[in-house]
Structure 1
Amino acid sequence: MNIQLDRKPALLLVDDQPTNLHALAAILKADYDLSFATSGEAALQLAENELPDLVLLDVILPGISGIEVLRVLRANQKTANIPVILVTAASSEQNEINGLDLGADDYLTKPVQAQILLARVRNILLKKRAEMQSRLALHVFEHSGEALLICGRDHRLLQVNPAFTRLTGYSQDEVRGKAPTFLAIQGERDEDLLEMWQQLQQSNMWRNEIWNRRKDGSAFPALLSISKMQDARGEVDFYIASLVDISEQKATEEEIRRIAHHDALTGLPNRLHLNIHLTQVLPLARRHNHSVALMFIDLDRFKVINDTLGHDIGDELLVEVAKRLRACVRESDLVARLGGDEFVVVLPEVHGKAAIQVITDKILHCLSSVYHLDEHQVHSSPSIGISLYPQDGQDAETVLKNADCAMYHAKALGRNNAQYFDAVDLQAR
């Protein structure tokens, strides 16, 4: 049986009397596609080949009786679920009992009244369609790749599917009767969960990204979607939720974000990351009344090294400089590469130039030490320009530009040294 919504249901009418078939057809032909059989053998063959949505089966047939046809239909896996209404001219209680025992869906006595016949056929088909949809829903629930949960109106779990067990490690018996909030990261989002239930009272759907914890204690990000099933009065019967692990999606997003914000060669934050960082640390410095130091670093003789030893050695030098810079600063400081041989160090909280000088001296020493690159001993040094926020500028662009200006002043003074922008500014005056 395959009751589809986009076609007329197909009925098989079985009776050895053509006049009876014509009478049934006259009642049913407007609403159903009909096929006919005048013997039990023909009925079995048509039923297996065409798989009708319902069979109207006369009990008294030549050869194989209607009761025997019903027995064979129910024994055959292909036809076992086809609804059957038994029809007979003789009102035999035993025939009715036998038929119902074998799985007949209904029993009619001739002469069949048109309205009763139409009502019985329609009701059985509606019932079978509902059963089929229930089986389909159960199949989808059991075999879905998404973790599915069903909660009662009290927000307690009634049922979970195998995908839920695979995702969380919890079996159905372990979670039945629990509120699904037991999966939540402890204390992380109590207010969010309360808001979720409140929103569900006002709408039919809620969706958001959340963090859950598996049975083994591991946390994972998930996309949670919840809808509610209501009765005819609008009262909630069930909440149905799907839980999709988005760990890979989040990892991909994080990798894309990392690539967008970091230099491919050295792995350092790039100009975009630097600008975002400055928009965060400068307002904090203003709020807490402390300074931010920005060092603009350019490598001395880099172009000569690149041109004479090749770009591969130049790249190795940049990678080594990045490593040394990271080793010179604090965990709270930022080292970024702007491009070429230009680097920036941000010291987000400084109190006086003495603290800056300690890090500056360390950078000058580390970057001036010889580099052993592919059997070459390479010598380079840094020219460093330093500007302070808010003393040397009220925004990130100005502070960066002034540090760049101070760096060129350091180069003009012989390289391998550090200069503050305020000194450059005083000389310019």
Structure 2
Amino acid sequence: MNDAEYALTPVDARAAPSAQSVTIFEAPLGEEGWHLAIQVPSRYLNEKPLRLLLLPGLTTLLLAILGTVVFSRAIHPLLKRVGRQAEQLEVSRQELRQAAGVFQHAREAIVITSPAYEILDANPAFSDLLGYPPEQIIGSQLLDLVVHSGTQNTLAQGEALLDDHDSWQGDVHYRCDNGQMLAALQTISAVRSSGGQLKRYIHIFNDISERKAAEEEIHHQALHDGLTGLPNRLRLEQYLAKVLERNRASDALLAVLFLDLDRFKRVNDTLGHQAGDILLQQVSQCLQQSLRAGDMLARLGGDEFIIVLNAVQTPENAGKVAESLVKLLSTPFQIDHNEVTIGVSIGIALYPEDGQSAGSLIHAADIAMYSAKNGGRNTWRFYRQVYVART
């Protein structure tokens, strides 16, 4: 080889390449159509050393290309699976963020507890509803906030349903931080692992205090007199049925007093029905104040009242009570600057000798009352006296 063979020589790109040389590299040099071309004599490619170098190089290059293709085809399913898992992970993260947003901003109070009812987390609505700050209740027992043993019994019954159905709903009463009681409709849902192991309970509370208050008011109105607030006949019969059931086991003496006001119609006729209503309210207050805490006063309607005297030691004691009531209601009442004087006729029936049921005792006391009224009014009679007189 000589230096002339390696000289840089301008080449006309439009000219056909020489048969004695081979272009192994060519690149444009920018403007005016100049190119860089590297040509080697063709005879060098026929030489053995070059063949020995070129053949392994080409083989290596082909193997590399083939390996790349094989590797790409082999790793493609793995990359696809990783991509799907990444998408699923992102979806799970979004769902968790959504659940956290619902938990924090829900209007319903939500508490998460362990299976042993230890409070693990509570949302702001729970703190607003019961008044407890989160740091005060986290780690405490949810059941410690429950009031009334009946509620705890209800929760205990709900645990059996949770085991079978993983959900339960019922009315529960809770103690608020200010000491007041909250009635809540509580829904409990169980959270289990993929293997079925119980992990958490989610409790959702809805305040139903107003609904409960309305229900209690309706119940109260159904069992009480609207004018005086005293128990009505239905409540009286329910009460008597319970008391008589208890007394049957102990043979305790009980007295039922039937009261009918004397000259009440005259008050209505002379002063009007509004004055009569005021008089009934005043009479109710007087009677209520004169009775023991364990006794019961009820209004049957009109000017008729019933008193149940529990644990009367002797019939004479019931007579003494009736005598004191006759004197009490003989005292004049003041109604709109008017002095009103009335009286009362009272009939007394004793359990068990005069009746075994609420109805029979009230009926016997009613008969005795009419006997007292027919006997001159403003007095009292035992049913036994009337029965003996009749026979």
TM-score for the superposition, normalised by structure 2 = 0.73
Q: Quick one: structure 1 residues 291 and 245, their matched pair in 2 at CA, closer, same or farther if it must change by over 3 Å?
A: same
Match of 1:212 in 2: 174
Structure-1 separation of matches of 2:180 and 2:101 = 30
Match of 2:361 in 1: 399
Pick the aligned partner of 1:364 from 326, 329, 334.
Answer: 326
Note if contact 1:328-1:362 (Cα within 8 Å) is conserved in structure 2: no
Gap runs ≥5 in structure 1: 1-112
Match of 1:71 in 2: none
Pick the aligned partner of 1:134 from 96, 121, 127.
Answer: 96
Cα deviation for residue 180 of structure 1 reads: 2.2
The aligned amino acid for 2:360 is T
Cα deviation for residue 192 of structure 1 reads: 5.9
Q: Quick one: structure 1 residues 316 and 194, their matched pair in 2 at CA, closer, same or farther if it must change by over 3 Å?
A: closer
Note if contact 2:148-2:173 (Cα within 8 Å) is conserved in structure 1: no
User: Aligned Cα RMSD in Å?
Assistant: 2.9
Pick the aligned partner of 1:257 from 214, 219, 236.
Answer: 219
Match of 1:318 in 2: 280
The one of the two structures with greater contact order (alpha-carbon pairs below 8 A, sep at least 6) is 2
Pick the aligned partner of 1:150 from 107, 112, 118.
Answer: 112
Residues 108-128 of structure 1, C-alpha deviations (whole Å, 9 max, x = no match): xxxxx9999997887666555
Pick the aligned partner of 1:388 from 350, 354, 364.
Answer: 350
Cα deviation for residue 340 of structure 1 reads: 0.7
Residues 240-280 of structure 1, C-alpha deviations (whole Å, 9 max, x = no match): 11233433333222211211111111111111111111111
Which is worse superposed, 274-283 or 220-229? 220-229
1:179 aligns with 2:151: no
Gap runs ≥5 in structure 2: 1-74
Cα deviation for residue 194 of structure 1 reads: 5.4
1:299 aligns with 2:261: yes
Which is worse superposed, 330-339 or 245-254? 245-254
Matches within 5 A, 1:155-174: 155-174=117-136
Structure-1 separation of matches of 2:266 and 2:148 = 58
Residues 134-193 of structure 1, C-alpha deviations (whole Å, 9 max, x = no match): 333222211222221112355432211001112233333333333323323498877665
Matches within 5 A, 1:42-121: none
Q: Quick one: structure 1 residues 154 and 266, their matched pair in 2 at CA, closer, same or farther if it must change by over 3 Å?
A: closer
Q: Quick one: structure 1 residues 153 and 305, their matched pair in 2 at CA, closer, same or farther if it must change by over 3 Å?
A: closer
Match of 1:237 in 2: 199
The aligned amino acid for 2:333 is Y
Note if contact 2:117-2:143 (Cα within 8 Å) is conserved in structure 1: no
- Alignment length (residue pairs): 319
The aligned amino acid for 2:372 is A
Secondary structure in 1 matching 2:188: strand
Structure-2 separation of matches of 1:392 and 1:380 = 29
Structure-2 separation of matches of 1:226 and 1:326 = 46
Note if contact 2:185-2:208 (Cα within 8 Å) is conserved in structure 1: yes
1:203 aligns with 2:165: yes
Structure-2 separation of matches of 1:126 and 1:271 = 68
Structure-2 separation of matches of 1:398 and 1:160 = 57
Percentage of identical aligned residues? 37
Note if contact 1:285-1:348 (Cα within 8 Å) is conserved in structure 2: no
Which is worse superposed, 233-242 or 203-212? 203-212
Q: Quick one: structure 1 residues 127 and 343, their matched pair in 2 at CA, closer, same or farther if it must change by over 3 Å?
A: same
1:279 aligns with 2:279: no
TM-score for the superposition, normalised by structure 1 = 0.67
Q: Quick one: structure 1 residues 137 and 397, their matched pair in 2 at CA, closer, same or farther if it must change by over 3 Å?
A: same
1:223 aligns with 2:185: yes
The aligned amino acid for 1:336 is A
Structure-2 separation of matches of 1:161 and 1:274 = 47
Structure-2 separation of matches of 1:185 and 1:263 = 30
The aligned amino acid for 1:391 is E
Q: Quick one: structure 1 residues 370 and 153, their matched pair in 2 at CA, closer, same or farther if it must change by over 3 Å?
A: closer
Note if contact 1:150-1:241 (Cα within 8 Å) is conserved in structure 2: yes
Structure-1 separation of matches of 2:340 and 2:140 = 67
Cα deviation for residue 343 of structure 1 reads: 0.8
Structure-1 separation of matches of 2:82 and 2:282 = 85
Structure-2 separation of matches of 1:154 and 1:266 = 49
Note if contact 1:328-1:359 (Cα within 8 Å) is conserved in structure 2: no
Match of 1:423 in 2: 385
Q: Quick one: structure 1 residues 364 and 244, their matched pair in 2 at CA, closer, same or farther if it must change by over 3 Å?
A: same
Residues 89-122 of structure 1, C-alpha deviations (whole Å, 9 max, x = no match): xxxxxxxxxxxxxxxxxxxxxxxx9999997887
Structure-2 separation of matches of 1:154 and 1:387 = 56
